[in-house]
Structures are given as C-alpha cells and as structure tokens.
Amino acid sequence: MGEHFIAESFDRGTLDGWVVSSAKKEDADEDIAKYDGKWAVEEMKDSKLPGDKGLVLKSRAKHHAISAQLLRPFTFDTKPLIIQYEVNFQLGIDCGGAYVKLLTQTPDLDLDQFVDKTPYTIMFGPDKCGEDYKLHFIFRHKNPKTGEYEEKHAKKPDADLRTYYTDKKTHLYTLVVNPDNTFEVLVDQTVVNSGSLLTDMTPPVNPPAEIEDPDDQKPEDWDERPKIQDPSATKPEDWDEDAPAQIPDEDAAKPEGWLDDEPEYIGDPDALKPEDWDEDMDGEWEAPQVPNPACETAPGCGTWKRPMIDNPNYKGKWKPPMIDNPNYQGVWKPRKIANPAFFEDLQPFKMTPFSALGLELWSMTSDIFFDNFFITDDRNTAERWANDGWGLKKAAEGAAEPSLATQMLNAAEERPWLWVVYVLTVALPLVLIIVFCCTGKVTHTHTHTHRDTDTYSSTQTHTHSRAERYIVIVSISRYEHSRYSYQGSSPRSPCMYSSGSHNKHHFYNCP
C-alpha cells in the first residue's frame, strides 16, 4: 500500500474507526440544529463490483458529520500532500456537497463534537446547488502578524464539471499540493484546475505592500474634466435656433382619387343602442366607430396633409465646441501609503498540520456514495491506490455500459429529431457506398511478377467488380505497407496483394 496517513476502503463493512458527530449546530433552529443525518456502509444501488462497499450519506435535508483520525498528523514540510477519494451521486444531486475537510490538529479536537465551525486546514471536493457546479479547494491561511486565519479559495476551474454530477458514475477526486506552492485538482486522474498558492487564490495570500490613504481627500479645485466648452467661441449670426427639425414636403402632391369629404371612420350603421342605456346617466349614445367602407378602394380619406421631411436648414440649439481642458489634472486618486497590515509569506504551503479527515455536509439528495479515502505524500503510492480501487470501478462500469447502437436508440427516443441526423450521417452515406460499389464491372489488365524459387512473368486479364476494387483501394490507402489476402474472381486460389518499395503495388497468384 505504501506510505500513507489514512487508507479507508470500507472492506470491513463497518464504521469502525469513524466517529459520527453528536453535536448541535450553533446559530440554528432547534429542529434542524442536530447532526442527525444517517450514515451507512453498503454497496452502491447499481454496483458493478459485487461486494464492494463504501460510506453512504443516507438522509436528505439533514446535517451530517462524520470523521476519522489519521494514523499520524500530516505536517507540511518537504513532501507534497495528496488526498483522493471517490464519489458517486447515485440519485444525481440537487443541492448539496460531497467535500471533505482536513481537520486542524489542535489539543481540544473532539471528533464527537465535529461541527461546521471545527477548525480545518483544507476543504476539498464537489459541491452543487441549482446550476452552480463547484469543485472546492480552500485552505485556511494563518496571518503571521495577527495570528488570525482567513480562507483562501482557489480560482474556479475552466473545465465543464456538469457531467460529474449527473452521469451517476463513480469519479475520483484528487488534490495535490506541492512544497513549491503549486497545486493541482484532478478528476478521474485528469487535471481540471492548477495554479499557485501565491497567485491563484482569492483573496491573495499576501496583502499589497501599499494601500490608498483612507484619510486623503480630493482638493476642491481639482479639475477632472478632460474637455471643456471653448470660451472664445461665439454663435454665428445666421444660426437659427428656432428652425423646426421637420417641415412639410412642398414637392408632394395629393394622390388622385383622394376622398377629402369622406371621413376615415364612421359610426357603425349596424350598431344598436343598448336597452339599458340611460342618457341622463350615460350621456348621448353614439355608435362605435368602424372603418369607412368608401375608403377601402381609395388612396385615402379626410383632409390630406403633406408628409413631413427633415428640414435641411435645421441646426438646433447652438453650443460652443469642445476643446481640451488646459487645466485638466486627471482622475483623482488617494495617495499611496505603506500598508500597516502588510506581510509576506513566501511559503503558504506550510499550512497548519491536520490530524483527522471529516465530512460535514448538508444535502437535499440522499445516497451519496463515498469510497477509498487516501492521504499520502507519495505520488506513486497514490496512483497505485487509485488503480486498485477506482480503476476497477471504472473498468466495471465501462463494461456494463450499453453499446453505441443502444445509446443512439435511447437518445432518439428522448429526442426524436435525432432520427433525421442518423439518416443523414449514417444511412444515406451507406446507401451511396453500396450504389457506388455494386453497380457494373470493369475489365483491366495486370502484369504480375513473382519471384520465389522459380522466376516467371505472366500477363493476365481479370474482371473485378467495383466492390472488389473499392476494397483494394481502401485497404491500400489505410495499410500502405501491409500484406493481406485478396479474394479475386476465381474461387480456386486467393489473389494476393503486397506493397513493394517506393509505393509500388503488386498482385500475384491471381487467376
């Protein structure tokens, strides 16, 4: 197994060595404050490895907390930290986490009282709520000046994490933190995030050396205007500020047939005054307006007005032109002063030692499966552990997956439009190949030279179908320097093809 600090595969089928918290969450209502979520050691619901068990979060909408002591505390010195474990969201995940906490070594650490505020050194793992898919890497950094701790969050991974939460497969989550202050986050042994503890954490480990002076104030006469109105400019004498923006088009003419005396709308001749209409209360009744039928064939009705056009003489209100401000001083900023809280920690890798591994979770989905927790300082050991555990699960789950054809059919049942895609990308090209290959025959002559114990040359004429020629062409293009049997038109003996030097191709033993 190699050097390690914890190696838990749950092969014993029990929670031996694990402590379920009996604490209550502070600052929470009494009915939800207790860590009463259930844990169990059992196989996955759809296990592909019979007998393989893991730790399962069994309850929904409850606080869960469980932890285990390491074989010995981990001290950040000259070797990397490697932590890895497996997660399977058997029922998917709506809102909840599956991350672990590496609990800080303290004299008063009591696993039975493990809660959300228990100090941790690193928090790592998947977390999801709604459409927010996260893969946490957080470490608590100790301020060397004040002794206070502050959480530092790794930048968000660029990779799309959605599949890991929805495919109901077992995924291996790995965190590597190196003595040179670099880190890597891997899923299924593929890096999805990496960076430096010094430059890729938020907030940064080290504060700025200088800050803006909070007591500095902008002078009252500070001029931040880059442009000003030209004080020497005057309005031209012919500038007409009263000219309208639009004027009637004097070139327009009234269309022929325009009905000046016909209104565009008339009272509905078929409308009747309601029986309960009270003119004293409701006023004089008027029929509702409807389009005038006389206007349906005419270009228009009513008083004709010239259309409006933009006024070429319109200038609007005169304003002086803008010029560069000769007194411009730029955007004011407070002066910089030395940061009284400045410190420089060039070795953030040297975090607080930790002595236990814990899961403190809330989830709206149950049956989250965990397995093969492993902490080590040796990469090769971690890789062997992963291959012996997760590697077997991956192979078993892969072997149990439906065939490509079955997956395509299942997808088409959910999305019927995929049938069109299948026809265009699979069926149609297949039909064209069959038509091309199986219609007509071509006669051609080959001169074959065969050298073995006897040397001879012969000239023979063969008739091959297009299908046979197609197979030869494809084979030659794919295996330029290969040797294979080719069945010719004669049933008596195989026609052999070989590739010679300089890309010259020879047929021999052909009938």
3-class DSSP state for residue 312? Answer: coil
User: Considering only 18-32, 142-156, 248-262, which range has the smallest mean pLDDT?
Assistant: 18-32
Average pLDDT of span 433-448: 60
Question: Which ranges constitute the DSSP H helices of 195-289?
Answer: 279-282
% of residues, the chain, pLDDT over 90: 66
What are 463-476's pLDDT values in tens digits?
444 334 433 333 33
Determine the Cα–Cα distance for residues 395 and 239; give it in Å rounded to an integer.
Answer: 85
Determine the Cα–Cα distance for residues 459 and 491; give it in Å rounded to an integer.
Answer: 19
Q: Is the CB of residue 465 less than 8 Å from the CB of residue 441?
A: yes
Write down the residue that tokens 């019979």 correspond to: 50
DSSP 14-48: S-TTEEE---B-TTS-HHHHB----EEEEE-TT-S
Question: How far is residue 17 from each of residues 73, 111, 350, 367, measured CA to CA in Å?
Answer: 16, 11, 28, 21
3-class DSSP state for residue 473? Answer: helix
Domains and their CATH numbers in the chain: 6-209+347-398 (2.60.120.200), 404-437 (no CATH), 441-464+483-508 (no CATH)
Q: Of the candidates 96, 7, 2, 49, which has an alpha carbon nearest to the alpha carbon of residue 373?
A: 7
What are 293-337's pLDDT values in tens digits?
999 999 999 999 999 999 999 999 999 999 999 999 999 999 999
Q: H or E stretch including 448?
A: strand 441-451
Q: What is the mean pLDDT of the chain?
A: 85
Query: Phi first, then psi: what are they for 430, rounded to 5°?
Result: -65, -45
pLDDT band, very low/low/confident/very high, at 214 (cuts 50, 70, 90): very high
Count Cα atoms within 13 angstroms, Cβ side, for 224: 6
Tell me what pLDDT residue 47 has: 86
Average pLDDT of span 247-268: 92
Reduce the secondary structure of 329-355 to three states and give it as a string. Answer: CCCCCCCEEECCCCCCCCCCCCCCCEE
Determine the Cα–Cα distance for residues 142 and 159; give it in Å rounded to an integer.
Answer: 30
Burial of 422 (0-12, 13-18, 19+ CB in 10 A): middle
Question: What are the residues facing 126 on neighbouring strands?
Answer: 135
3-class DSSP state for residue 441? Answer: strand
Q: Is the CB of residue 88 less than 8 Å from the CB of residue 44?
A: yes
pLDDT at 245 > cutoff 60: yes
477 or 210, higher pLDDT: 210
User: Considering only 65-74, 273-282, 410-419, which range has the smallest mean pLDDT?
Assistant: 410-419
pLDDT band, very low/low/confident/very high, at 43 (cuts 50, 70, 90): very high
DSSP code for 287? P
pLDDT band, very low/low/confident/very high, at 98 (cuts 50, 70, 90): very high
Helices 379-388/390-399 angle, 10° precision: 40
Q: Is the CB of residue 416 less than 8 Å from the CB of residue 476?
A: no
Determine the Cα–Cα distance for residues 423 and 438; give it in Å rounded to an integer.
Answer: 21
pLDDT at 352 > cutoff 70: yes
- What do you get for the CA distance between the two ends of the chain, in Å? 64
Determine the Cα–Cα distance for residues 346 and 302; give it in Å rounded to an integer.
Answer: 86
Determine the Cα–Cα distance for residues 165 and 163; give it in Å rounded to an integer.
Answer: 5
Q: What is the largest CA-CA distance in the chain?
A: 128
